[in-house]
Chains A and B, each alone.
Chain A
Amino acid sequence: MGRFTSFTAALFIALMATAPLFLNAYYIDVLNSIGLYALLALSLNLILGEAGLFNMGHAAFYAMGAYTAAILNTRYQIPILWTLPLSGLVAGLFALAIARPVVHLRGDYLLIVTIGIGEIVRIALINDVFGITGGANGVFGISRPDFFGFVIRQPQHFYYLIWGFVALSIFLFLRLKQSRFGRALNYLREDEIAAEGSGVNTAYYKLAVFGLGAAWAGMAGTLFAAKMTIISPESFSFWESVVLFMIVILGGAGNMAGVLLASFLVIGLPELFREFSSARMLVFGLVMMVMMVVRPQGLLPARGR
């Protein structure tokens, strides 16, 4: 890591750690929203950025986690944060089960299939599948998270919960990146035939990364459910998957700093320009188009591109 990068990282961490001291509740809430998207985008980055698998149904795994947490909490009174590992597990296993038959598909085909998966999950939730998802109304009355006796309810409390989880994720994913597992994902992205021809079990790694990315999205879902206390299918629409896909590609697939930056831009900027109402989406669309033409490798591309 260069000196400039270390300095930027240190400055960013210092700013983020102290942000609740000088920002009002509204901006803290915007940052919470950015944090959740950053978490989701980081998990999608494993699948899309590191392994190069086109997944445009990430919201499905997010929904699985959020609903697992919400149902366990409202029906069985399990403290919401306790459901975190279980939500991850459910979303991860669900991803393994549905990815198994389709993950060998190439690029664009996989993209279409994952769009289908995202829609199936959303529509199943609307139709109150198994009678436990509450249909279009969703699940409400999710209790506030209780952190060893400390009840988290104010935005700045959630801020530390969410961004703490983001920090932990970045820490773990960085380690993952510099490991046998992380390298295997990159081999997969760069050249699948060469990877298999070097002794890498490509089928296994495709599945494993789908499971891992989905499990992380599931845990992000738990945090979302805890923050909102009410969840409904409309929070997990196709558009969410598109936005996440966009964040990863715009930021620079395979680069976590880029993914973070893009989360701020894609989620934060529209909030700052609320007064322009629908015109901001027009500008947003134009910026996306210009970006992809001028800088297709993303804002902060992974090294070497």
Chain B
Amino acid sequence: MDLLTLHHLTKTFGGLTAVKDVSFSVDQGAVVGLIGPNGAGKTTVFNLITGQYRSDQGEITFAGARLNGLRTHRIITLGIARTFQNIRLFQQLTVLENVLAGCHYRMRSGILGAMLRLPAQQREEREAMERALQELEFVGLGQQASTVAKNLAYGDQRRLEIARALATQPRLLILDEPAGGMNEQETGALIGLIGRIQARGVTVLLIEHDMRLVMRACEKLVVLEYGGKIAEGPPDQVRCDPRVIEAYLGADDET
């Protein structure tokens, strides 16, 4: 069953067509990789899905709902969470506070509830705290809850972003280059983490340049070049596709 579907999506910036008539779908429960050379429009596709950009043409549907025109925070509440290519944490806040951001939209209390410390508000805070700590344990940052985010090691910052995204309890998790800047060992751990996320029933869509990760973690790949889709299918099939080899891996180099 399709969880996310993109229909003929097009986005132009001035004279540049960043995304050109792209269609693909993500099955419920799958791990799908979106790959392509630099500047192929991968992150633009992510930004279209999460509402940071508005598409010029085409339609995005998620679990039966049309996403076009919705504001980002609304799209998150429908069950899509994301991480960013260039890590976007709340640098000066603690690790726990970062993850609590993901719990935010499921909570209700406002100014008065906080000022009066109403019982409902207190209960809600406790529950959010527990959920946030669970997610930190899940990504392996349970011991760092009170560390200020900017003091985390680079790989841990990536994992914290994933924990924050998971705290929204998404159905679809979108990861933008999760292994960017990671060493081999960290990448190995990340592949394990993606597997455990999938085991929780969360569908994953990721952009990645690290081919070992893509080949091991993904069941399906979508390849973009110059904003257009040039291939789609299981990793083994895609890696043998002559257009992909020529466009992405280089005409002579077989990697």
Contacts and interface: CB of A to CB of B under 8 A. Distances in A.
Bin chain B's interface residue count: 35 or more
A198 B106 CA distance: 11
B90 A190 contact: yes
Interface string B185-225: 00000000000000000000000000000000000000000
Contact of A199 (B52, B94, B168): B168
B101 interface: yes
Interface in B91-144: 91-94, 97, 100-102, 104-105, 107, 109-111, 113-115, 117, 121, 124-125, 128
Contact of A193 (B52, B94, B105): B52
Contacts of B125: 179-180
* Residue among A190, A191, A202, A305 with most chain B CB within 10 A: A190
A264 to B, nearest CB: 25
A180 B124 contact: yes
Contacts, number: 109
Contacts of B117: 175
A305 B125 CA distance: 25
A172 interface: yes
Contacts of B44: none
Contact of A179 (B77, B93, B101, B109): B109
B108 to A, nearest CB: 8
Interface stretch (B25-33, B81-89, B247-255): B81-89
* Residue among A176, A198, A200 with most chain B CB within 10 A: A198
A194 interface: yes
B88 A193 contact: yes
Q: Could you tell me the dominant secondary structure of chain A's interface residues?
A: helix
Interface in A210-232: 212
Contact of A212 (B84, B111, B168): B111
A212 B110 CA distance: 12
Interface string A261-305: 000000000000000000000000000000000000000001111
Interface string A179-206: 1111110110011011111111111000
A203 B74 CA distance: 12
B104 A305 contact: no
B114 A197 contact: no
B113 A194 contact: no
Nearest to B52: A193
A197 B72 contact: yes
Contacts of A193: 52, 84, 88
10 contacts: A175-B114, A175-B115, A180-B104, A180-B114, A180-B125, A181-B111, A186-B90, A198-B81, A199-B81, A212-B111
Interface of B: 50, 52, 71-73, 76-77, 81-82, 84, 88-94, 97, 100-102, 104-105, 107, 109-111, 113-115, 117, 121, 124-125, 128, 148, 150, 164-165, 168
Given A181-B109, A183-B93, A201-B73, 4 more contacts: A183-B104, A200-B104, A200-B105, A201-B105
Interface of A: 172, 175-176, 178-184, 186-187, 190-191, 193-203, 208, 212, 302-305
A-B pairs, top 7 by smallest CB distance, nearest first, are A179-B114, A199-B105, A190-B90, A199-B76, A194-B88, A198-B101, A304-B148
